[in-house]
Amino acid sequence: MTMVQITLPDGSSKAFAQPVSVAEVAASIGPGLAKATLAGAVDGRLVDASHRIEQDASLRIITARDEEGLDLIRHSTAHLMAQAVKRLFPETQVTIGPVIENGFYYDFARKEPFRPEDLESIEREMARIVDEDLPVSRQVMDRDEAVAFFQGQGEEYKARIIADIPAEETISLYRQGDFIDLCRGPHIPSTGKLGAFKLTKLAGAYWRGDARNEMLQRIYGTAWPDKKQLKAFLKRLEEAEKRDHRRLGKQLDLFRFQDDAPGAVFWLPRGWTLFRQLIEYMRERQDEAGYVEVNTPDVMDRSLWETSGHWQNYHEHMFTTQTEDERVFALKPMNCPGSVSVYKHGLKSYRDLPIRMAEFGKVHRYEPSGALHGLMRVRHFTQDDAHIYCTEEQMEEECRKVIELNLSVYRDFGFEDVRLKFADRPDNRIGDDATWDKLEGALKGAIDAMGLEYTHNPGEGAFYGPKIEFVLRDAIGRDWQCGTLQVDLNLPERFDATYRTADGGEARPVMLHRALFGSLERFAGILIEHYSGNLPLWLAPVQVVVMNITDAQADWVGEVVSDLRRRGFRVEADLRNEKIGYKIRGRTLEKIPYLLIVGDREVEQRQVAVRLRDGTDIGAMDLDALGERLSGEVARRGPIGDNGQR
């Protein structure tokens, strides 16, 4: 009998006299590993722990410590939830249950709506199934047999899913007790390996995400390797709810939404002040970095979008209109074509390059109503867009400068933990492979030259070029994808953009697409949540409030407000006929950084009593000393604490 040689990740190998399962290999290494084994990666392919290896192969044992192991736990918990739902509500049809960030969901077809209290019943039934420790096994079915099986079970959605699976793919089913589900797998060996889970919310979802299809009911949940990690996540979730920018936006009177303009922001005065701070900050940084600023139309003819390729690749996300002469126009979903049009105005020489052209462009993208989420997902937003036109020899250096600027900007806003993700050519793309080779090489070269770490997202680039995504980690450990850098030779080709070379010929410029905030609306939302509304002094819409104790101090309050405004600070007076404690509590809830209290003593000494929003009492200060303190704190930018220290 042929021996089977198994090579392990540390380079060691084990020989077996006959085909061996992943679980058996784990058991041969040790009982602890055997108990922890969830699945295996055989020659890089994920398989069940019961999978038998029949020839020499490399093997990596998958446990809950592995990223793949966590995904397996979550996907298997989705099946666990579906089984519990079927036990409690047998008339329900199951559809799909994928893994998502931090958890999973499953969509169900049921006439009666689930109620919040149903989630508790489902969780209890899930716990019973875990206690039953049901083995999970895989079986393969003929396509027609599988369709007939699910139709016989009354699971019409599963039958429809099978009909859409490519003919060459295997139809695999997973059984745990009396529950059988269609699934590619792999899965954990038994339900007993689950248990640290929580069902979190209910939502509606269209079948296959299409609003023309029937509405299903979606149950979301989270799952973790152990109770400790689950508890930590739920605590983060609770903290995130406290920081929800929609709640804080209402509390701090920053912005609102209304049905007259779904997916668009109505900025209130304080919120618009924050928005302007972002623009002014970025304008200053871009001026320092050698950018020029332009502005292009919001509505442009369809032909421009056909030239750029957006019409062919992005049409379903564009808002369009047709005029009486039958011309079709589109609200711009991106700023790139307008930027190229500006570049083409007038002849360009190699001496002019690089040209760094910035635009705070308003863009419009159709997002399904169910996807809209406060400032984080809107249909109308502003990008801090820039396009850099350079020679091929300059592009790697320009990429490096963009990366350096991005990281510096994020530090100013208090984001020190920034992850880079490199995304290469997608299947749906324009341009030839040689061009993509050149662009990907330059972009990766810039990251490598800076010694920065990055992860690889294969096939996730834009349709016109590879990209880097900048992912920020906030105060409670959540990741936010914000800035992007994309390298492009395709749009200059499509728009016939050129520059005059040193020898008098013509060449195509390389076009770098760059955004740092990404969407200013979204970045504002991220900042609000990151700081839990306690924005640093330099960003706070109202930096100082001056309050009197009685009407006798009103004139001095007016002088203080005027003096601080002349120094450039955003100041309000609170002269309401209310007790000072009431005023302080109210302004603290508004998260105003500095609260200045004026009584008879302060008037007499021409000072103010200084209090911070965290309750710290700084004491009495004259206006010059206070102005110096405020100016120093504003100049430092970054995440300054309420006591004025980093």
What are the residue numbers of the active site?
Answer: 336, 365, 383, 385, 387, 467, 513
CA distance linking residue 522 with residue 530, whole number of Å: 12
Contact between 587 and 547 under an 8 Å Cβ cutoff? The reply is: yes
CA distance linking residue 490 with residue 496, whole number of Å: 10
Residue 639 DSSP SS3 = coil
Residue 139 CB burial class (10 angstroms; 0-12, 13-18, ≥19): exposed
Instruction: Write out the DSSP string of 30-74.
Output: -HHHHHH--EEEETTEEEETTPEE-S-EEEEEE-TTSHHHHHHHH
> Which tokens belong to 547?
């309050």
Instruction: Write out the DSSP string of 259-288.
Output: TTSTT--EE-HHHHHHHHHHHHHHHHHHHH
Exposure string over 572-607, b if 16+ CB within 10 A, otherwise e: bbbeeeeebeebbeebbebbbbbbbbbbeebbeeeb
123: alpha, beta or left? (left if phi > 0; alpha if psi -120 to 50): alpha
Identify any residues that bridge with 479 across adjacent strands, giving them in sequence order: 473
Q: Which of 465, 522, 519 is nearest to 490 (CA)?
A: 465
Distances (CA, A) of 72 to 36, 99, 133, 148, 187: 13, 9, 16, 28, 6
Handedness of CA 597, 599, 601, 606 (dihedral sign): positive
- The number of residues making up the chain comes to 646
CA distance linking residue 530 with residue 474, whole number of Å: 6
> Which tokens belong to 523?
């970045």
Residues sharing a CB contact under 8 Å with residue 226, sequence separation 6 or more, in sequence order? 64, 196
First vs last Cα of the chain: how many Å apart?
70
The dihedral formed by the CA atoms of 124, 128, 129 and 130, expressed in degrees to the nearest 10: 100
CA distance linking residue 197 with residue 120, whole number of Å: 12
344: how many CB neighbours lie within 10 A of its CB?
Answer: 14
CA distance linking residue 303 with residue 494, whole number of Å: 12
Instruction: Write out the DSSP string of 542-594.
Output: S-EEEEESSGGGHHHHHHHHHHHHHTT--EEEE--SS-HHHHHHHHHHTT-SE
Residues sharing a CB contact under 8 Å with residue 6, sequence separation 6 or more, in sequence order? 13, 14, 15, 16, 20, 25, 53, 56, 57, 58, 59
467: how many CB neighbours lie within 10 A of its CB?
Answer: 23
